[in-house]
Amino acid sequence: MKIIAFVLAGGEGTRLHPLTPVHAKPALPFVNGFRIIDFVLSNLVNSKISTIYVLAQYKPQSLAEHIAALWEPQLTDPSSRIQLVLPRSASPGQKYQGTADAVYQNRHLIERHRPELVAVFSADHVYRM
């Protein structure tokens, strides 16, 4: 079954303000160099979902660096990808207006891959699947 995943990583983390001056909530360090987003990415990769788009908007730089350093080297299949995607807009600082808008703005990725299933997950939940 062909599946793509959207990981919603837009969390500004205002309730965690003392911890989020530099990082978005999904990019917060958790333990031993891992970040909160690693829970969902690990679950997706271990579930053999190889096309993953991380929809980010708030302070995406540390998240992009983390994905490039930790996850991209692990992708051995040339068709696998974990790619950071920012909101599509002509104006800088534009944000997704919510979950539905994030998926809507990236429907071109769904059309490109033509998956049987689109999985949508949050990047800031700590869980085991």
Q: Are 55 and 27 spatial neighbours (Cβ–Cβ below 8 Å)?
A: no
Give the tens place of pLDDT for each residue, 102-126: 999 999 999 999 999 999 999 988 7
- Terminal C-alpha separation, the chain: 19
Model confidence pTM above 0.85: yes
Residue 97: predicted pLDDT: 85
Residue 83: predicted pLDDT: 93
Which of 12, 80, 95, 84 minimizes the C-alpha distance to 47? 80
Give the tens place of pLDDT for each residue, 47-62: 999 899 999 888 888 8
Structure tokens at 3: 């599946």
